[in-house]
Amino acid sequence: MSPAKKPQYEHAMHVYTGIKTFDIVQKTLTKDNLYGYVDFPKAELTIDPNQSVEDYKSTLLHEICHIGFEVFGLNDDDEMPTIGNEYLTTVTSNMLFQLAGLNPELFEFIFTNNE
2 assigned to some structural domain: no
Taking each helix axis from N to C end, the angle separating 104-111 and 85-102, rounded to the nearest 10 degrees, works out to: 110
Is the separation of the CB atoms in 103 and 15 below 8 Å? yes
24 assigned to some structural domain: yes
Average pLDDT over every residue of 42-51: 97
For 57, the domain range is 14-111
18 assigned to some structural domain: yes
Is the separation of the CB atoms in 51 and 36 below 8 Å? no
Of 58 and 84, the structure prediction assigns the larger pLDDT to 58
Mapped onto helix, strand or coil, the DSSP state of residue 44 is strand
3 assigned to some structural domain: no
Distance (Å, rounded) from C-alpha 90 to C-alpha 107? 19
4 assigned to some structural domain: no
**The pLDDT value given to residue 84:** 83
Q: Tell me how crowded residue 35 is: count the other CB atoms within 10 A of its CB.
A: 19
Distance (Å, rounded) from C-alpha 29 to C-alpha 26? 9
Instruction: Categorize the per-residue pLDDT at 4 as very low, low, confident or very high, splitting at 50, 70 and 90.
Output: low
5 assigned to some structural domain: no
72 assigned to some structural domain: yes
What's the structural domain count of the chain? 1
